[in-house]
Each structure stands twice: as C-alpha cells, then as structure tokens.
Amino acid sequence: MLHDVGREAHELIQRGLDHFAHGRLREAAQVWECASRLQPQDRQATRLLAFVRLRVRERDTPPPPVRRDTLESPIPAYLASLTAVEDEGSGKHIEPEPGDEWAQVDTRRVLSSMDELNDYELKKPDAGDTWKELPAQDDKLLSSVRGLMDECKNALAAGRPDAAALAAETALQVVEQAKIYGLEEVINPARSFFEHAFSTFIGDMKCLPIRAVPAEDLASYGFDHRAAFLMSRMDAAINVNDLLHVAGMPRFEALRLIAALKRAKAIDMVPALA
C-alpha cells in the first residue's frame, strides 16, 4: 500500500509538471495539492505546490511585458545595434545607442549571411602573421568580441548577471557564426568568466529547474537535441548541480544551455529548500 501511494504521488507530480510546461498553472496546483495530501511528509510535492501558487499570484498581477529571447535571437538584435549605418532610402545617419561605442561593426555586411566574410579564404597565416593583419572587417569583429568580453566583466562587477550572461552568449555566437581565424584564440581566455556569468545568472545551484514550455516547442526557440536532453532530466527531483553531472557534456556547455533556457523562459527555477 505504501508503495502504491508513493507511485500515485509520483505520477501526480509528473502530471503537474506537464500542466506547468503547458501554462496550466491552476491545474498543476490542483494535482500537486493532491500529491502533498497523499504524502504529507514528501517535501517535493509541498515545495512544488508553494512554488506554483506563487507563480499563479504573479500571473494574476503581471509585470510590464518583456521580450522573450530565444537562443538565437540576441545575435541579430545585438549586431543591428553595433554601429551607426546610413539609411539608404533617406541618407539619414543613425547614431548607435548610448553605451554601444565599444562595439563598432558594419552590420550591413554582417547581417547579409556573412557572404563577404565567407569569401575570405580561412587559411592559417604564416608564423609571422598576427590577427592585426587580417582584413579590416575581421579587425572590427575582433574588436567587437573584445568589447563583449569587457561588457561581460563590467556587468558581473556591477551585479548585472543577466547582462553578463547575454554578453557572453552573444560573444560566443559571433565567434561560432563568423568562423574567422583568430577569433577562437581571442575568446578562449574569457571562458572562465563566461562560465561565472552563466552560473551567476542561473543562480542557486540547489534550485530545481523545471520545464516552462512543452518539449515539442523547443525547436521554435532555437534549441537543439542537447537542450531537449537536459529538459528531459528536469523532473523536479534534480537540482542544477546534479543536472550538470548527468548532462553528458562539458560543464561549460551545460551551464551555457541552462542559462539560455532560463533567459528564453523555457524553464523555471523552483527555489531551494531553506
């Protein structure tokens, strides 16, 4: 009988997780309340119930709307704001946003699928070459990546983990998408504080990550099979620390993915027990 009660409570918890992922918060609260009544000593059910009740209250008094980022979305928005460009229709000069002076890139060239950059033959330079001898556009991308590295450091020092994690993610995506010789060498020393940025943005490593969107919707957020695997392990019984151990990928990549999932609001974090 005890085993049957435990199994029923577990099934109710999993059913509640499915409700939560689909945005059915009140239904999740109902089944988690049933689970907590079945097993009053089970802190998992009571923890989830308290959490979803908080989310229901927050939903009923919503804050001002905030744009939902996806894994891929920071890049176009970021690149589009990097530098002043000429409005070809009117000839009007558009100034960069305040604070973006450190990142100067010709966005018209970058956003055109990197065609001109891909025409550049990416061969390893001779021993005497340095990144400074790459074409001017490459210099601008290198400067931009360095600016993002500085932005990440500055945001961490200022206590802005969300901005730090976004700067780190954007820098990594610029390097991955540009595929220009020299960028990897520039960014490799930054990986330690990028990892710190992702960890700080995620928060308490004892929190329980749970799905906030259906698994089948992940692709529309720009995520791949690695994110889907991580989400399949988010069963409200494993915290972030433990998830990193079973992720089946380097810690840096797992932290980066969890941070991206959180920024996209694809997952939610159940607070750690006091």
How much is the pLDDT for 208? Answer: 95
**Buried b vs exposed e over 114-150: b needs ≥16 C-beta within 10 Å?**
beebeeeeeeeeeeeeeeeebeebbebbbebbbbbbe
3-state secondary structure of 168: helix
Taking only the tens place, the pLDDT of each residue in 79-126 is 555 444 444 444 444 444 444 433 333 333 333 333 333 443 333 334
d(CA 175, CA 187): 8
Residue with tokens 């980022």: 69
Q: Where are the beta strands (DSSP E) in 67-110?
A: 85-86, 93-94
The reported pLDDT for the residue numbered 62 is 65
The pLDDT of 265-271, averaged and rounded, is 94
Burial class (CB in 10 A: 0-12, 13-18, 19+), 97: exposed
**Burial of 38: CB neighbours in 10 Å, binned 0-12, 13-18, 19+:** middle
Q: How far apart are CA 246 and CA 258, in angstroms?
A: 13
pLDDT in tens, 205-249: 999 999 999 988 988 888 989 999 999 999 999 999 999 999 999
The pLDDT tens digits for 148-167 are 999 999 999 999 999 999 99
Q: 183-200 b/e with 16+ CB inside 10 Å = b?
A: beebbeebeebbbbbbbb
In tens, the pLDDT along 38-81 reads 888 888 999 999 999 999 999 888 666 665 555 555 555 555 55
Residues in contact with 32: Cβ distance below 8 Å, sequence separation at least 6, in sequence order: 12, 13, 16, 45, 48, 49, 52
- 272: closest CA among 222, 213, 220, 205? 205
Residues 44 and 13 sit within 8 Å (Cβ to Cβ): yes
Least Cα distance to 215 among 197, 234, 231 occurs for: 231
HSE-CB at 219 with a 13 A cutoff on CA atoms is: 2
Residues 246, 231: contact at Cβ < 8 Å?
A: no
**Residue listed under structure tokens 């329980």:** 208
